[in-house]
Structure 1
Amino acid sequence: MFIFEWLNNQLLKMEWLSNLVALFVKGILGLDVNSKLGGSIHFFIYDVVKIFILLSALIFMISYIQSFFPPERTKKILGNYKGISANILGALLGTVTPFCSCSSIPLFIGFTSAGLPIGVTFSFLISSPLVDIASVILLASIFNWKIAMAYVVVGIVLAVAGGSIISKLKLEKYVESFVYNNNIIETEQENMTTRERIDFSKNQVLDIIKKVWIYILIGVGIGAAIHNWIPESIITSVLGKDKWYSVLLATFVGVPMYADIFGTLPIAEALVLKGVGLGTVLAFMMGVTALSLPSMIMLKKVVKTKLLAIFVGVVTIGIIIIGYAFNYFSYLLM
């Protein structure tokens, strides 16, 4: 148990990095890490470096595994399952794809074009940006493994439930016709060499880092400001654990925003430290990542308004329920 805790603190929480940054802030910059300015600089440098290190390592590992499961093979695997088992598999496959919601939509189109049930593709579309291995590891590095694993479970449950509801409602006619008429050319995946898989993984790391770096910097910057400059009394007066509307507010504030989950994690960390309920910050994170405005605009081009409205409504209600549940049972996880 002691060894696991030590490895967790050093490899995930990177206490060694925190200590190095503290020495830099104090020794080179001459600032007290307990002061507002020194604490902000320490928070910013430590979180940025930690997130980029973990993100790069995890995306490389995930992408290497993913190189064995190209879209063609994934579609074939999903096509062998029906009913809720297909929704579960679609949600689980979404967890191993390190995509934001906008990046997931082309795959959603491809899966639907290949004849997969839309309920299954929506399960994938919900889980892909919401629950991926990299974000779970980062969540554990900021909070703990109990919270990270609980987040995985509720994220998958939301994806399966959302996809199942859409499937039961028989909404196929609300998918734009060009999606079904899009001819997909199936090609046999060449056997990649180890070198090619490594190159593919490195390219995935660079591609995803290019897409998310700005959101990480913005998110960490906001987190540093919240953590060191905004009084706790102000935050708790709006989003405190005793405010019944905090989850609703966090969800509806998060939905129209566009950021990556990696950029929202530092904000979540700072808010929890300021006394905001765990469920409230997780509802914010889920709203931002699963229902971002740009992804909804892209999705509107391939589905009709009724299906889009049902999708947004189902996911939003699910996020709100999850938020209140986490607030109520947070004492079991902290």
Structure 2
Amino acid sequence: MFDWLQSFADWLIYQVIGIGTESRLGVALSFFVYDVLKILILLFLITVLMGIVNAYFPVERLRDFLNKRKLYGLEYFFASFFGAITPFCSCSSVPLFIGFVQGGIPLGVTFAFLITSPLVNEIALAIFLGMFGIKFTLIYAITGILLGMLGGMVLGKLNLERFLSDWVQQLIQNKNKVQEGFESEKAPFLKRLPHITQEAWGIVKSIVLYVIIGIAIGAFMHGYVPENFFEEYLGDGQWWTVPLAVILAVPLYANAAGIIPVIQVMVVKGIPVGTAIAFMMATIGLSIPEGTLLKKVMSMKLIAIFFGTVAFFIILSGFIFNMVFTTL
């Protein structure tokens, strides 16, 4: 689908600029130009599509929907799905987490959203689609949503409300003071589209630096890192490489736009797909900045339980990805 972009990148680097086709710099720059253009195009198109979805199904409607209906467990799916279609990283998801708790949504359901939101969103899907194709993107999206659902269910069963901060406990007690209701605009679609497009372009502009930095790192790795570098440390397929990848990722922090291009090159260099994706999920879903923000709403014990549960499911998904991808 994007062969024309690769041809353009090769023409620009090898003919216009005149860098040799066999040089490491030329390979790296061709990779960089191709991936930047491809990811930005996909990112804008999918962000517009998700903007249309969000315009007709805003946060307040989801909160009311989950509060007013007996869903027999489906509320975890709806919360995870909503987390998947909203463009939030782990840190920016925390304010919505507060709003959900404040609105009276069960804590386990709220955790399902908090887990899924940074792992799977339209930005991650756009980049993943461009780099790995539709089959792997669907597997990644479904796994991320299931991860959020299972994590939310497990955490919900533990009755962890007592470990919320005093500030949040007071919010729950006074939830009748929360502004409720949402009057959606009745404007027709064609009148909404320019605003949706403008918002999508704003999202793209706000993360374009992350895309460029991430792809630049990936391009450097693609052009300069020796073929056996990653295989030597994480590519031997031993069981411990998946948990090791998660542990190494937690101190880091990046959003999907910045880390997925790096993951692509890691896979090319020999790391199993599941190990690389586990590293990616831990980087964007478990971070020190997120833990710092969560201290406002959770005790340290609850943060430890949350991080431990999510880490466990990420490691489990890494093993599953490795098994699935070896059969495809």
* TM-score, with length taken from structure 1: 0.90
* Number of aligned residue pairs: 321
Separation in structure 2 between the aligned mates of residue 176 and residue 234 of structure 1, nearest angstrom: 45
Matches within 5 A, 1:60-209: 60-79=48-67, 80-179=69-168, 180=172, 181=174, 183-193=177-187, 194=189, 197-209=192-204
The alignment status of 1:268 with 2:254, answered yes or no, reads no
Separation in structure 1 between the aligned mates of residue 87 and residue 72 of structure 2, nearest angstrom: 25
Matches within 5 A, 1:25-36: 25-36=13-24
- The letter of the residue matching 1:190 is S
Separation in structure 1 between the aligned mates of residue 58 and residue 78 of structure 2, nearest angstrom: 15
Asked if the contact 2:5–2:34 (Cα under 8 Å) also holds between the matched residues in 1, the reply is yes
Match of 1:321 in 2: 316
Q: Percent identity?
A: 36
Gaps of 5+ in 1: 1-9
The Cα shift of 1:203 comes to: 4.0
The Cα shift of 1:318 comes to: 0.7
The Cα shift of 1:81 comes to: 3.7
Helix, strand or coil for the counterpart of 1:143?
A: helix
- The letter of the residue matching 2:26 is G
Alignment RMSD, CA only? 1.8
Which of 29, 33, 36 lines up with 1:48 in the alignment? 36
The Cα shift of 1:251 comes to: 1.0
Task: Report which stretch shifted further, 186-195 or 296-305.
Answer: 186-195
The Cα shift of 1:326 comes to: 1.6
Separation in structure 2 between the aligned mates of residue 125 and residue 192 of structure 1, nearest angstrom: 30
Distance of aligned partners of 1:253 and 1:33 in 2 relative to their CA distance in 1, 3 Å threshold: farther
The alignment status of 1:23 with 2:11, answered yes or no, reads yes
The Cα shift of 1:209 comes to: 2.6
The Cα shift of 1:316 comes to: 0.3
Separation in structure 1 between the aligned mates of residue 125 and residue 211 of structure 2, nearest angstrom: 16
Distance of aligned partners of 1:106 and 1:246 in 2 relative to their CA distance in 1, 3 Å threshold: same
Match of 1:6 in 2: none
Gaps of 5+ in 2: none
Cα deviation digits, residues 232-259 of structure 1 (max 9, x gap): 2222111113344321222122222221
Asked if the contact 2:42–2:130 (Cα under 8 Å) also holds between the matched residues in 1, the reply is no
The Cα shift of 1:273 comes to: 0.8
Asked if the contact 2:43–2:122 (Cα under 8 Å) also holds between the matched residues in 1, the reply is no
Cα deviation digits, residues 274-306 of structure 1 (max 9, x gap): 111001110011011111221221112111111
Helix, strand or coil for the counterpart of 1:327?
A: helix
The Cα shift of 1:196 comes to: 5.5
